[in-house]
Every structure is written in C-alpha cells, then in structure tokens.
Chains A and B, each alone.
Chain A
Amino acid sequence: MTTAMIQAKMSVDDFEALANLPENNARTLQLIDGEVVEKMPSNGWSSMLAAFISEAFVNFVRSGKLGYVTGEGAGYRVGKDIFAPDVAYISRARLPRMPRKGFIPLAPDLAFEVISPSDTAQEVAEKVQVYLAHGVIVCVVYPESETMYVYEPDNRLTLLTRADSLTLPDLLPGFSMALADIFPVDDADQEILS
C-alpha cells in the first residue's frame, strides 16, 4: 500500500488500453479508485475453493440458461472501477451475450472474493462498499476460518459456516450450495474430492 498518490486517477478507457497491451497479457489488473492494482496469483488452496464454488454455480446456471459464471481473472466494470472477482455470476437478463473481447461492461449480479493472507481488512471493506453501491451481492470467503459473509445491497448481512448452505432466493431461486462442499475436511478428503 505504498502507492504514490500524486498521479491523476486513471479512467476506465485508459485502463483498458493499458490492460490490453501485449506485455500485460498474462497479468490480472484491476482498477480500484483510479489506481491500477495487480491481482497476484492466489495460493492453491484459495483457488481450489474458488473452483469448488464455480462448480456449484456453473452446473445450475448453465442447465437453466440463466446467465454466465466467470472464474478468476474476469474483469467487470463496477462503477468507475474494474474488479476481478474470484468467481462471479451475471444474469442473461442483464448481459444478453458474453463479450469475446474486453472487460464485461457491467457489474456482476453476484461476486465471490476469496480472502488471501495478504488481503487487508480495509481493501476488502472498500471493495464490498463499491460492490454494494452497484447492486452486487458479495460473498467474502475466509478459507482459514471456513466462513462466508454474504453482503446484500439492501444491507442484509449473513454469516455462514460449514453447517450452512448458501441460497439466493431472489437472484437464483432454487439454488443451494452447502458450505461443507466447498471447504474440504482434511488432506485425505482433498484427495477424494480431486
């Protein structure tokens, strides 16, 4: 967080041009409050949890032709920011076609952020704040404590633990994801799951 604050805030257009440069091909860049923030490769465990979450959504969303699920790295325009949630869902009603190029020009309907050890509490709070201001349901996943905080734009906030299931009655009626399915029990269980 030692970013120099002197430079002017970058626009989404300038950011998109920067992100599309060949040398930035392999990087996941985000635009947060006018600053370019690189998302570093996440640890294997967090990424594995994100994959389990994707799995639950991809099956449900594709079979109902409801919209699109994206994995780590997809850029969404959220107000003046470009965020790259670890997993996200956007409905077909809001995004009739997934663009083949460029960022998704809208905020997702639902975003998952899986916490890494280096994420600061403030960064997470800021991101949640921006998501909520743009109508996004945000699920913040803490792999260490195996909990999930579900923030909804109407200020509802729910804490889920291993014994609970995530349901989204307004957004995806009928969907249910048991948290026990996304938090592996131990190393032996991991082998079974993989």
Chain B
Amino acid sequence: MTLTLEKRLSADELARLPDLVDDMPRVYELSEGKLIEMAPASAMHGSFAAKLTMKLLIFVENNDLGEVTAAETGYTLHRDPINGDTVRAPDVGFIRRQRFPKGLPETGYVPGAPDLAIEVMSPYDTANDIERKVAEYLRFGTRIVWVFYPQTRSVMIHTPTRIVRFTQADTLDGGDLLPGFSMALTDIFPVEPDADDSASA
C-alpha cells in the first residue's frame, strides 16, 4: 500500500499534499520520507477506536492531564532533512499537558511524538508495518504504545523497556503516564462474532 515516489517528502510537504496533487482523498503517513497510504477504516475498526477514544478522553478531561487526539491526527515524530521526516497518525493519541501548557498548535501536525499511542489492528495491517510503527513511536519519545487486536482480543503493551501481552481477562492501566486509569478488556472487546470453542454449548 505504499505509493511510489521518487522524492522523499518532508512533514510540511505532506501537510500540503492535497493542494499539490489532484485527487488526494486519502490519508497518508510518512515513514522516513516515504508515503504510507491509510485506507479508510472498517466499520469494526472505527467503532472500536471510537470507544477507546471516549474512555481515554473522559479520564484525561476529568483529571486535566492533557490532550487526546482522534484517528488521523498527524504527529511529526521526527524531522530529518537527509533521510526524510516521519509523520504518524495513531488511532488514538494522548499528549501530556506539560508539553503544550497553552494547548495544541492551531495549524499543522502535533510537533513530536504522542506520549501514548494507540493502534487498532485491521485485517489488512501487515505485521511488518505495525512492528515498524511501534519502533518509530518508541524511538522518537512515545512512552507507551497499546496495540489492540480485536480478533484475538489481545493487547500488546510496548514501552521503551518492556513489552507485555494482555488478554481479555486483564485490565489495562495507565502506569506513570495516566495514574489511576484502568480499563477492563472485557469492557472494550466486542462480543464474539462467532461462538468460540469454549463458548459453544
């Protein structure tokens, strides 16, 4: 799903893409200057991401911790004039208040990496792409990445120092980043679409 371009793009050029090229209806990310196309999310993906956004947003607002961004919000993880910039758009992002005491910039992408990045896997996301994305988040300053796998009802929690795999029985917490936050995975994963081995009567 990578568009082939001769030239590596900068974050600013990415932001101006819709003006530069006709018929640019899609959303793109930039990984070291290379365009990565993001197809519109599936119904299940979109509703799942919305639910996560809501749960996180309520907690963050109630505790005045910072900003939560919805899907397709660009973050300029890294500027690199030689190898190309990296702009990623997590399905849900969170930035601590301390980083932007006066609020997020009115134009352009969020400068820097989200403190928490949440990604929800779709059937077409490749293993390589998510592995690379998680590595970029962590390399450029993200403190926690949650990768949700709705199909297996599991979550991978990545921090710069450790990785943990949670399953349906577990409860996610926000660690030092979101003290007091907790989300039981049974609350968030959709009801099983088809009867599981254990569930079939």
Contact = CB atoms under 8 A, between A and B. Distances in A.
Interface stretch (B8-16, B104-112, B120-128): B120-128
Contact of B165 (A80, A121, A145, A155): A155
Contacts of B163: 149, 157-159
Interface stretch (B47-55, B68-76, B94-102, B148-156): B148-156
A128 to B, nearest CB: 8
Given A115-B127, A126-B151, A155-B165, A121 B121 contact: yes
Interface in B127-167: 127-132, 135, 147, 149, 151-152, 154, 156, 163-165, 167
B152 A120 contact: no
Contacts, number: 67
B126 A119 contact: yes
Nearest to B125: A121
A173 B149 CA distance: 33
A129 B154 contact: yes
A144 B132 contact: yes
A157 B163 CA distance: 6
Interface in A110-161: 115, 117-126, 129, 140, 142, 144-145, 147, 149, 151, 155, 157-159
Interface residues of A, number: 25
B128 A117 contact: yes
Interface of B: 121-132, 135, 147, 149, 151-152, 154, 156, 163-165, 167, 197
Contacts of A158: 163
Given A145-B135, A157-B164, A159-B163, A119 B152 contact: no
Contact of A122 (B135, B149, B164, B197): B149
A185 interface: no
Contacts of B149: 121-122, 125
Interface of A: 1, 80, 115, 117-126, 129, 140, 142, 144-145, 147, 149, 151, 155, 157-159
Contact residues of B: prevailing secondary structure: mixed
Contacts of A118: 126
B165 A119 contact: no
Contact of B152 (A1, A122, A140, A149): A122
16 contacts: A1-B124, A80-B197, A115-B128, A119-B127, A120-B123, A122-B121, A122-B123, A122-B149, A126-B152, A142-B128, A142-B131, A145-B128, A145-B135, A151-B165, A157-B165, A158-B163
A151 B163 CA distance: 10
A145 B131 contact: yes
Contacts of B151: 122, 125-126
Contacts of B197: 80
Nearest to B149: A125
A80 B163 CA distance: 28
A149 B165 CA distance: 11
Given A125-B154, A157-B164, A144 B125 contact: no
B152 A125 contact: yes
B131 A120 contact: no
Given A121-B130, A147-B131, 18 more contacts: A115-B127, A115-B128, A117-B128, A118-B126, A119-B128, A121-B125, A121-B126, A121-B127, A122-B122, A122-B149, A124-B127, A125-B151, A144-B128, A145-B128, A145-B131, A149-B163, A155-B165, A157-B163
